Structure 1
Amino acid sequence: MEMIGWVIIILFFAIGFVGLVYPIIPAVLFIFGGFLMYGLLFSFGDLPWWFWAIQSLFVVLLFGADLLANAFGVKKFGGSKAGLWGSTIGLLVGPFVIPIVGILIGPFIGAVLAELTFNRSSFKQSVRSGVGSVVGFITSVVTKGTIQAIMVLLFFVLV
């Protein structure tokens, strides 16, 4: 039974890391869910109060980082709110329309189309906004992946 418990916990962690590139999956919630599963299946006593406090702060940080990285990328490259919304929609739709590469192409196309449609921006400026959305997404994935790895590492150190 213990083996099944660990498989479930590791499955939660794995889904959390898959969620880095499939934004429809709430990645950090699966990581946190793995901790909760450990507590439910084994013991909450193994994880001190400060572990939960730190992990809760990481959850809040990750939700904020996700929003800020994309916004920063689009704004840094001269995009507008329309570009940001287009990028976000492209990020959610892209992986389903174009599997694998859609995760990068979706935000790019979304930002470019939104800039062209709603702001009547030049094609060059629209493409810059699209590049910014991709840069923001990649920055977000690297940042979130690092923080999630720290979360899981801290868990295994304590367990």
Structure 2
Amino acid sequence: MGFVNVFADWLFVLVWIVGLAGTFVPVLPATLIILAGALLHELLVGFSELSRLSWTWLVLITVAVFAVDNLAALIGARRYGAGRAGMWGAFIGGILGLFILPPLGVFVMPLVGAFAAESLSGKSADAALRAAWGTFVGMLGGMAGKFLLHLMMGILVLRAIF
């Protein structure tokens, strides 16, 4: 095993750890960081360690991550009684949160958006607060799901390269 292979292997491990940590920082594209780490690894070793099946699994897990990311807050909001307005409010709040107090805004603004939208649609403050809480619970559940999927991505690559 040459220096380049050892370097590439440990570089992937480092990038994967950054990606895992990035799961909890909404402005970092953690999934893409992990995929880029796998691609960089393969570029350095001449595409000799990850099979087509491994790449297929990485792509499928990536799709699952994006599904979890986009659906978790909506499911949480719906579970706690949010209507269409609250879900749209959470979505718009999440986008605004990227620009307002990042990265904290990404956590807070979906709650504010859901609460505001539910209140404006005529729901009581208690019902609007419950919907906002559901959005937050959904976001946390989504982060947990993404973290597990990011672990799977890394383990898949590690099994192939070590």
The TM-score with structure 1 as length reference comes to 0.84
Long gaps (5+) in structure 1: none
1:147 to 141, 146, 149: 149
Q: 1:157 is matched with which residue? A: 159
Q: Which amino acid aligns with 2:19?
A: G
Q: Which amino acid aligns with 1:156?
A: L
State the distance in 1 between where 2:75 and 2:155 align.
28
Q: 2:131 is matched with which residue? A: 129
Q: Which amino acid aligns with 1:138?
A: L
Q: Deviations over 1:99-127 (max 9, x none)?
A: 5654432221121012112x121111100
Q: Percent identity?
A: 29
Q: Which has the higher contact order (CA 8 A, sep 6+)?
A: 2
Q: 1:116 is matched with which residue? A: 119
State the distance in 1 between where 2:37 and 2:63 align.
17
State the distance in 1 between where 2:42 and 2:65 align.
22
Matched, 1:85 2:88: yes
Q: Deviations over 1:64-100 (max 9, x none)?
A: 1111211100110110222112212333443653456
Structure 1 residue 8: Cα displacement? 5.3
Asked if the contact 2:85–2:118 (Cα under 8 Å) also holds between the matched residues in 1, the reply is yes
Structure 1 residue 11: Cα displacement? 5.3
Q: Which amino acid aligns with 1:145?
A: F
Q: Which amino acid aligns with 1:136?
A: G
Say how many residue pairs are matched.
Answer: 158
Matched, 1:34 2:37: yes
Asked if the contact 2:25–2:103 (Cα under 8 Å) also holds between the matched residues in 1, the reply is no
Q: Which amino acid aligns with 1:41?
A: L
Q: Which amino acid aligns with 1:33?
A: A
Asked if the contact 1:79–1:129 (Cα under 8 Å) also holds between the matched residues in 2, the reply is yes
Asked if the contact 1:23–1:91 (Cα under 8 Å) also holds between the matched residues in 2, the reply is no
RMSD over aligned CA atoms reads: 2.4
Structure 1 residue 10: Cα displacement? 4.6
The TM-score with structure 2 as length reference comes to 0.83
State the distance in 1 between where 2:60 and 2:158 align.
18
State the distance in 2 between where 1:78 and 1:95 align.
25
Long gaps (5+) in structure 2: none
State the distance in 1 between where 2:49 and 2:81 align.
49
State the distance in 1 between where 2:145 and 2:62 align.
13
Asked if the contact 2:93–2:113 (Cα under 8 Å) also holds between the matched residues in 1, the reply is yes
